[in-house]
Chain A
Amino acid sequence: MSSIKKSVSKLFLATIGMFLFGFALVPIYDVFCEITGLNGKVTGPTFSEYEDIGNREIKITFTTTNNNGMPWFFDSDRSQMKVKTGEQNLMSYVFTNTTEKPMIAQAIPSVSPGKGAQYFHKTECFCFEQQYLEPGESISIPLKFVIDPDLPADISSLALGYTLFDITKDQMTKQASN
């Protein structure tokens, strides 16, 4: 009988272990994305300064998208610019709450091609920050970034896309459950 008990407890532990492994996949996936630039995932603000400003010119395209049902006005000052690698650059984005009620939004960035994501350093940004706006309120937020001079030679242009999500409801649920 004890050999059966031993088998069962081992298998039960394996089950629990695999359930936890399912959740462990979440951070593993994030780390994996960061290393490989999978999905064009970018990290939050990082400070980086380069002594040598390269002479390579990179074309940056800025795109903004409103997620399904998000009524705000959201756009960048310019849709394209040419920058030198290693140079500090500035771009600003306008957010306007066009509705009659206060709302919370969040913009999620993505860099394309994904391989270039890890060379796109933002020194100041609004990524992963929640934005609260009163009805009709408008705000302009700057984005400072540097393109790493180590950017692979076969990449001559990068696109930075932001998608704006309405997270008002989620924030409400979170507060309610707290």
Chain B
Amino acid sequence: MSAVIEGHHDDHHHGPAKGITRWLYTTNHKDIGSLYLWFSFIMLFIGGAMAMVIRAELFEPGSQIVSPEFYNQMVTNHGLIMVFGVIMPAFVGLANWLIPMQIGAPDMALPRLNNLSFWILPAAFGVLLATFFMEGGAPNFGWTFYAPLSTEYAPPTVTYFIFAVHIMGASSIMGSINVITTILNMRAPGMTLMKMPLFVWSWLITAYLLIAVMPVLAGAVTMMLMDIHFGTSFFKAGGGGDPVLFQHIFWFFGHPEVYIMILPAFGIVSHIIETFSRKPIFGYDSMVYAIASIALLSFVVWAHHMFTVGMPIAGELFFMYSTMLIAIPTGVKVFNWLSTMFKGSLTFETPMLFAIAFVALFTIGGLSGLMLAIAPADFQYHDTYFVVAHFHYVLVPGALFSIIAAVYYWLPKWTGYMYDEFMGKTHFWLSFVSVNLTFFPMHFVGLAGMPRRIPDYAMQFADYNMIVSVGAFLFGLSQLLFLYVVLKAIFYGKKATGQVWEGAQGLEWTLDSPPAYHTFETPPNLEAGEAKG
């Protein structure tokens, strides 16, 4: 470990370089963390703008604002950007900022690789967004890009899409290799695996999931590329291939992928709840085992996304029961969060509000997932707005709320300035009300049979859709307030202390706010009896 630190001797007591090259050439985990977070913030507004177009079109039945073709492009790119451009980079950004500080390491294990894995991301999304200005328009086959929609019937820009997915995948894989290598090799002396902060644990497991499934996604898009351009027939029924095979390969990636987007959230929320309950997390060990078992189970449930393709009954039963099994470790986690709060000295600062909302609303999303897991019932729910309601509940008030909570929680640490608590709480209540206004009625229209991915709908869904659209516009505007709160904190915030929060535990809070450009060049000694995070 000491060898790693010696490698940094040259720039030991230097601050960051000046100008744009600081950001282009940086190998500093804090700089790269900020880059990831700002990138994700920008993509949030781009993907969000697409959601606004979708909701404007669905405000009333009938076709009014955009053509159905453009609507499909909006739906597809909204999904792709939110998944690969917002949630995933935001978590990687948090990992960059926090993992070295939480385990007492001077930086990530592979700083140059870190720089590369960030800087290819804007290239990937540049390629993806450029397809809007090309002949045939942007990808229009849904974020799940099922063959043959994405092969035989795809616009010519699908090749750019495939290239973009390859780059995003490479970025994620490099990021994961970096995270695992850092965690396994660079922990401060005395920090055993079972003393690691839960955010670090959740990211360690997430990184393994990424390494297991991102290459499979790369394989899937490579097969698409070969089907389109080189005359192979992986997914072409006419040549002896099988389009259903695509769905199996896609969801073999896709289901672990949805846990990639939620496991780091579990870690974040655990830290915030223990801080504002002023109690250590209840059942630390069971939290770790729960994350690990959720991750393992995620590999054997993928076909629950495709109950309606015509599986043998044994297959339906297997995937139904294995899916339901996931409710057990997830239930353990929710129980532990509630038990941590039980009889704690609770205060309700903005990060805590978002964390509590996460627990409540993520559980709603989990329960609708349990309903969808029931194979016979799924034939009714499949491809309706019920599914849209389900995954937005786990991804927006789930993953996104956890990221917002993390930003409020660690922003004073990163920048050295407190955000405006009143504005933060306003942002929370606006987001909380509007997110439910947006996604809750989707359950009702979904159960009543409104199909997803359609730019028009039957008259009986009109009222609910209008409510949903109003909620969505409000939610979109609330996030502009979030941007304002963050900027105000950076430029006009009050100085924050090193500890920031009264109940905050963990190595990052022993540093100054903001931390020096290089921290923990000498690893902290945990054997002296410092508590785990």
Min C-beta distance of B327 to chain A, whole Å: 27
Cβ-based interface call for A174 (8 A): yes
From the candidates B184, B220, B237, B312, name the one contacting A22 in the complex (CB within 8 A).
B220
From the candidates B4, B214, B229, B231, name the one contacting A4 in the complex (CB within 8 A).
B4
How far, in whole Å, are A14 and B184 apart by their CA atoms in the complex? 16
Contacts of A8 in B (CB 8 A): 109-110, 177, 181
Min C-beta distance of B298 to chain A, whole Å: 14
Q: Assuming A8-B177, A14-B211, is B218 touching A19 (CB within 8 A)?
A: yes
Cβ-based interface call for A29 (8 A): yes
Count A/B pairs, Cβ under 8 Å: 114
Query: Which residues of A from 20 to 48 have beta carbons under 8 Å from B?
Result: 20-23, 25-26, 29, 33, 36-39, 41
Interface size on A, residues (CB 8 A): 41
- Contact across chains for B231 and A37 when beta carbons are under 8 A apart: no
Majority SS at the chain B contact face: helix
Min C-beta distance of A72 to chain B, whole Å: 13
Comparing B156-164, B240-248, B328-336, the segment that makes contact with chain A is B240-248
Q: Assuming A11-B211, A173-B230, is B219 touching A23 (CB within 8 A)?
A: yes
Q: Assuming A7-B181, A37-B312, A39-B244, is B230 touching A16 (CB within 8 A)?
A: no
- Contact across chains for B238 and A18 when beta carbons are under 8 A apart: no
- Contact across chains for A36 and B312 when beta carbons are under 8 A apart: yes
- Contact across chains for A11 and B181 when beta carbons are under 8 A apart: yes
From the candidates B176, B212, B248, name the one contacting A25 in the complex (CB within 8 A).
B248
Query: Which residues of B from 53 to 92 have beta carbons under 8 Å from A?
Result: none
Tier of interface size on chain B: 35 or more
How far, in whole Å, are A39 and B235 apart by their CA atoms in the complex? 14
Comparing A85-93, A138-146, A150-158, A159-167, the segment that makes contact with chain B is A159-167
- Contact across chains for A177 and B231 when beta carbons are under 8 A apart: yes
- Contact across chains for A167 and B218 when beta carbons are under 8 A apart: no
Cβ-based interface call for B252 (8 A): yes
How far, in whole Å, are A37 and B110 apart by their CA atoms in the complex? 48
How far, in whole Å, are A16 and B176 apart by their CA atoms in the complex? 14
How far, in whole Å, are A36 and B318 apart by their CA atoms in the complex? 14
Contacts of A11 in B (CB 8 A): 176-177, 180-181, 211
Cβ-based interface call for B216 (8 A): yes
- As a 0/1 sequence over residues 172 to 190 of chain B, the CB contacts with chain A under 8 angstroms (1 = contact) are 0100110011001100000
- Contact across chains for A38 and B312 when beta carbons are under 8 A apart: yes
Cβ-based interface call for A12 (8 A): yes
Q: Assuming A1-B3, A25-B248, A170-B239, is B233 touching A7 (CB within 8 A)?
A: no
Majority SS at the chain A contact face: helix
Cβ-based interface call for B524 (8 A): no
Cβ-based interface call for A128 (8 A): yes
Cβ-based interface call for A79 (8 A): no
- Contact across chains for A22 and B215 when beta carbons are under 8 A apart: yes
Cβ-based interface call for A115 (8 A): yes
Min C-beta distance of B81 to chain A, whole Å: 24
From the candidates A16, A167, A177, name the one contacting B239 in the complex (CB within 8 A).
A167
Contacts of A37 in B (CB 8 A): 312
From the candidates A16, A25, A163, name the one contacting B237 in the complex (CB within 8 A).
A163
Q: Nearest B residue to A178 by beta-carbon distance?
A: B231
Cβ-based interface call for B236 (8 A): yes
Q: Nearest B residue to A21 by beta-carbon distance?
A: B216
How far, in whole Å, are A12 and B218 apart by their CA atoms in the complex? 15
- Contact across chains for A26 and B312 when beta carbons are under 8 A apart: no
- Contact across chains for B245 and A170 when beta carbons are under 8 A apart: no
Cβ-based interface call for A108 (8 A): yes
Min C-beta distance of A82 to chain B, whole Å: 26
Q: Nearest A residue to B176 by beta-carbon distance?
A: A11
Cβ-based interface call for B130 (8 A): no
Q: Assuming A11-B177, A167-B238, A167-B239, is B245 touching A29 (CB within 8 A)?
A: yes
Contacts of B212 in A (CB 8 A): 14, 18
Min C-beta distance of A3 to chain B, whole Å: 5
Q: Nearest B residue to A130 by beta-carbon distance?
A: B239
- Contact across chains for B181 and A4 when beta carbons are under 8 A apart: yes
- As a 0/1 sequence over residues 100 to 135 of chain A, the CB contacts with chain B under 8 angstroms (1 = contact) are 000000101000001100000000000010000000
Q: Chain B residues in contact with chain A, CB under 8 A?
A: 3-4, 109-110, 173, 176-177, 180-181, 184-185, 211-220, 223, 229-231, 233-234, 236-240, 242, 244-245, 248-249, 252, 310-312, 314-315
Q: List 11 A-B contacts (CB under 8 A).
A: A1-B3, A4-B109, A18-B213, A19-B216, A20-B219, A22-B217, A25-B249, A33-B242, A36-B315, A165-B238, A170-B238
What are the 4 tightest A-B residue pairs by CB atom distance, in nearest-first order? A22-B219, A165-B238, A19-B215, A174-B231
